[in-house]
């Protein structure tokens, strides 16, 4: 098991107060490029940014809704498979656009991130700002290593995209 | 004329919605009768068994819990019980109760998700829960609050919201104080009333007349509704200790599915999950559960898989009442885990995941390293029964128009809340957005 993941600091049960910004990395350590969201989140966590909570998640929608409840700004990082060149970084703004229905039917979670966003929209409780950073993956087979193109994208997301989004909040 | 139109056709669903994991369905109808049914699973869960080889015994609960994002506690529980059976570990009463409590949390989360988010839209004629949320926001709000109470239990005992890490062989790394547990009581009391309402609500849904003669298999314990312990029993005479599981159940490979089909030797398909647990353990439910179930017309056994939504609601109420009971009687144990000595051996564990019995078997060497592992999840045990249901359901409803029959076939699968696997979840976007 990854030592970062087992760090008791990550135990939100013992967290006293929520910050303003939540960054969630979604993924699975055991599915190659699918781990990218988690790895990005772990790197950002090490920077100890003020007013920012960083968490990792498996992508199940209902618990994601519970996770982001009470945060004003939410950034989600996840692996994507859209046919674009591996390493492509997609930026989506759920407050401005509805995620296409097809999105749901290809997620392997019964109730996915996209559905969580749409249910929040229907209930009128989407966070004030929300950004989804999708990183195009290449290999989603069982394994514990990243493709090189995805690895390169990780650096860009950690160093540029997060700062860029943070400066707009 | 209708029967002529429908005499030969294929019902095909490439990606099943509202089930966990990647699955597909094909039903072939030829000359007015069902010629073939295939419930396909694309996911390769066996990877985890290979991944476990050579790892420490203590890694098993954390690694296997990643097989499923909905029921990580079930994987942790079956694995720690298997290891404890090898080492001969005995837990004190409070540690044992805390394990039941964390399982209560998982049942609440999983059952509420299925009842409201995944299954209710089928009965109410909604494409998905988003449409339901638009028309009935109050139902969805209440469901989310109910589900969150399950999550709060898992978070408190598991150490964090997702991927709980506080469960270990011998007990826990840290146990809660009385005060921490007591903080859950007020919400659980609210939840108890909502769970009773949920049973009444689900009982009003329209159910097809569809009863089958199943062999139900579940754990049965002398004193309590089963979570972690008991004997494996069925309504057709099975009554064995967990360690004999593999003498009675075997896995078969079928060409159209990546998941192995589990069958009972010389008997064939069987049924695991809420309907089986309920029908084999009705007498162990609380008086309130029994009374509410009876008041909505649910008998002591239930053979209509569509009514699984009511049974899940009854089990949600049970989990809430059991959580309240455990919290009320809690005294903080002296140590968070029981001591043990590592030794070589073979151990089995079987616990009641929300979707049914989850079997683990491990072989350890003298250093406690895993030599081999076997994991049989509930969905692979139900696959054959799901196909049998589909066949029978289509046979009885062969004159329905294709779109309606397709919807009802999907619903027939969703009755089982199949968790095909949460081992992957990447988003397959079919558009590029710069």
A108 has pLDDT over 80? no
A5 has pLDDT over 70? no
CATH label of the domain that carries residue B364 = 1.10.645.10
Report in angstroms the alpha-carbon separations of B376 from A132, B45, B246: 36, 10, 10
Q: Is B338 exposed, middle or buried (0-12, 13-18, 19+ CB in 10 A)?
A: middle
DSSP single-letter state for residue A31: B
Q: In the prediction, which pLDDT does B46 show? A: 60
- Residue A9 pLDDT level (bands cut at 50, 70, 90): very low
Q: In the prediction, which pLDDT does B17 show? A: 57
Domain borders along chain A are 18-168
Whether residue A109 and residue B425 make contact (CB cut-off 8 A), yes or no, is: yes
The average pLDDT across A122-127 equals: 92
- Residue A103 pLDDT level (bands cut at 50, 70, 90): very low
- Interface size A-B, in CB pairs within 8 Å, comes to 177
In a domain, B293, yes or no: yes
What SS3 state is found at A84?
A: coil
To the nearest whole Å, the CA of A169 is away from the closest chain B CA by 20
Least confident of A3-7, B309-313, B350-354, B408-412: A3-7
Q: Comparing C-alpha atoms, which of B401, B18, B287, B338 is closest to residue B175?
A: B338
Whether residue B151 and residue A63 make contact (CB cut-off 8 A), yes or no, is: yes
More confident of the two residues B418 and B333? B333
Q: In the prediction, which pLDDT does B253 show? A: 76
B213 has pLDDT over 50? yes
Please give the mean pLDDT across all residues of chain B. Answer: 88
Which tens digits make up the pLDDT trace of B35-61? 888 877 655 456 788 889 999 999 999
- Residue B219 pLDDT level (bands cut at 50, 70, 90): very high
B128 has pLDDT over 90? no
Which tens digits make up the pLDDT trace of B275-289? 999 999 999 999 999
More confident of the two residues A15 and A37? A37
Mutate to test the interface with A, among B370, B414, B426, B434 (most CBs of A within 10 A): B426
- Residue B22 pLDDT level (bands cut at 50, 70, 90): low
Please report residues of B whose CB lies closer than 8 A to that of A111: 18, 113, 117-118, 129
Residue of B nearest to A56 (CA): B162
Q: In the prediction, which pLDDT does A99 show? A: 67
Q: Is the ipTM of this complex over 0.90?
A: no
In a domain, B288, yes or no: yes
To the nearest whole Å, the CA of A44 is away from the closest chain B CA by 19
pTM: 0.88
In a domain, B229, yes or no: yes
Q: In the prediction, which pLDDT does B149 show? A: 96
A12 has pLDDT over 60? no
The share of chain B scoring above pLDDT 70, in percent, equals 89
Strands A73-80 and A129-136: parallel
The average pLDDT across B288-317 equals: 98
To the nearest whole Å, the CA of A55 is away from the closest chain B CA by 9
Give the closest of B17, B133, B431 to A123, CB-based. Answer: B133
Residue of B nearest to A134 (CA): B427
Give the closest of A78, A92, A110 to B18, CB-based. Answer: A110
Which tens digits make up the pLDDT trace of B341-360? 999 999 999 999 999 999 99
B172 has pLDDT over 70? yes
In a domain, B424, yes or no: no
Q: In the prediction, which pLDDT does B428 show? A: 36
More confident of the two residues B389 and B406? B389
B181 has pLDDT over 90? yes
- Is B434's Cβ below 8 Å from some Cβ in A? yes
Report in angstroms the alpha-carbon separations of A103 from A80, B22, B431: 10, 14, 9
The average pLDDT across A57-72 equals: 88
Give the closest of A55, A108, A118 to B130, CB-based. Answer: A118
- Is B426's Cβ below 8 Å from some Cβ in A? yes
Whether residue B159 and residue A26 make contact (CB cut-off 8 A), yes or no, is: no
Give the closest of B47, B141, B427 to A81, CB-based. Answer: B427
Whether residue A110 and residue B113 make contact (CB cut-off 8 A), yes or no, is: yes
Least confident of A100-114, B89-103, B242-256, B315-329: A100-114
Whether residue A1 and residue B69 make contact (CB cut-off 8 A), yes or no, is: no
Residue of A nearest to B434 (CA): A90
B132 has pLDDT over 50? yes
More confident of the two residues B361 and B14? B361
Which tens digits make up the pLDDT trace of A138-161? 888 778 899 999 999 998 988 887
Whether residue A119 and residue B48 make contact (CB cut-off 8 A), yes or no, is: no
CATH class of A18-168: alpha beta
Q: In the prediction, which pLDDT does B427 show? A: 36
Which tens digits make up the pLDDT trace of B400-411? 888 888 888 888
In a domain, B302, yes or no: yes
Least confident of A76-85, B7-16, B136-145: B7-16
Whether residue A111 and residue B117 make contact (CB cut-off 8 A), yes or no, is: yes
Counting the structural domains of chain B, the total is 1
Domain of B89 in residue numbering reads as 47-383
Whether residue B427 and residue A58 make contact (CB cut-off 8 A), yes or no, is: no
Residues 64-103 of B with CB under 8 A from A: 66, 69-70
């Amino acid at each position: 098991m990854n030592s970062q993941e087992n760090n008791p600091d990550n135990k939100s049960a013992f967290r006293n107060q929520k910050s303003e910004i939540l960054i969630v990395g979604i993924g699975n350590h055991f599915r190659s490029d699918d781990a990218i969201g988690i790895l990005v989140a772990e790197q950002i966590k090490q920077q100890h940014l003020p007013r920012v909570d960083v968490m990792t998640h498996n992508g199940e929608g209902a618990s994601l809704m519970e996770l982001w409840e009470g945060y004003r700004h939410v950034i989600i990082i996840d692996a994507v498979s859209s046919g674009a060149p591996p390493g492509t970084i997609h930026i989506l703004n759920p407050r401005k656009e509805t995620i296409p229905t097809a999105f749901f039917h290809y997620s392997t979670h019964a109730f996915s991130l996209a559905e969580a966003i749409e249910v929040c929209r229907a209930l009128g409780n989407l966070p004030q700002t929300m950004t989804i950073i999708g990183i195009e993956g290449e290999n989603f087979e069982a394994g514990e290593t990243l493709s090189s193109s995805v690895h390169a994208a990780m650096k860009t997301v950690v160093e540029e995209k997060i700062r860029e989004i943070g400066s707009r909040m | 004329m209708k029967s002529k139109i429908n005499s030969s056709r294929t019902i095909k669903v490439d990606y099943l919605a509202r089930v966990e994991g990647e699955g597909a369905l094909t039903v072939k109808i030829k000359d007015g009768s069902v010629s073939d049914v295939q419930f396909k699973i694309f996911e390769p869960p066996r990877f985890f068994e290979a991944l476990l080889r050579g790892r420490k015994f203590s890694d098993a609960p954390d690694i296997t819990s990643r097989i499923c994002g909905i029921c990580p506690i079930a994987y942790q529980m079956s694995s720690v019980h298997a290891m404890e059976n090898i080492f001969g570990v005995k837990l004190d009463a409070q540690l044992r109760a805390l394990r039941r409590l964390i399982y209560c949390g998982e049942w609440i989360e999983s059952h509420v998700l299925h009842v409201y988010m995944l299954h209710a839209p089928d009965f109410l004629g909604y494409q998905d829960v988003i449409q339901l949320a638009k028309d009935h926001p109050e139902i969805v709000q209440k469901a989310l609050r109910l589900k969150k109470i399950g999550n709060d239990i898992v978070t408190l005992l598991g150490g964090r919201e997702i991927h709980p890490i506080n469960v270990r062989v011998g007990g826990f790394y840290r146990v809660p104080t009385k005060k921490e547990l007591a903080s859950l009581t007020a919400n659980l009391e609210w939840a108890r009333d909502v769970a009773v309402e949920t049973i009444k609500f689900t009982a009003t849904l329209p159910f097809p007349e569809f009863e089958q003669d199943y062999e139900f298999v579940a754990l049965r314990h002398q004193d309590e509704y089963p979570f972690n312990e008991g004997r494996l029993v069925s309504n057709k005479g099975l009554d064995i200790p967990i360690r004999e599981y593999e003498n009675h159940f075997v896995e078969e490979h079928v060409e159209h599915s990546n998941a192995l089909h589990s069958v009972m030797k010389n008997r064939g398909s069987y049924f695991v999950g809420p309907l089986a647990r309920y029908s084999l353990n009705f007498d162990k439910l609380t008086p309130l559960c029994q009374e509410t179930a009876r008041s909505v017309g649910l008998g002591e056994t239930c053979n209509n898989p569509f009514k699984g939504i009511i049974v899940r609601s009854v089990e949600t109420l049970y989990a809430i009442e059991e959580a309240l009971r455990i919290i009320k009687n809690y005294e903080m144990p002296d140590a968070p885990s029981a001591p043990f000595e590592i030794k070589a051996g073979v151990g089995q564990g079987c616990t009641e995941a929300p979707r049914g019995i989850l079997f683990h078997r491990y072989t350890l060497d003298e250093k406690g390293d895993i030599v081999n592992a076997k994991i049989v999840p509930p969905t692979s045990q139900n696959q054959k029964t799901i196909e049998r249901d589909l066949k029978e359901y289509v046979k009885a409803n062969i004159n329905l128009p294709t779109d309606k029959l397709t919807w009802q076939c999907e619903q027939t699968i969703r009755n089982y809340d199949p968790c095909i696997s949460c081992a992957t979840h990447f988003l397959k976007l079919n558009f590029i957005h710069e």
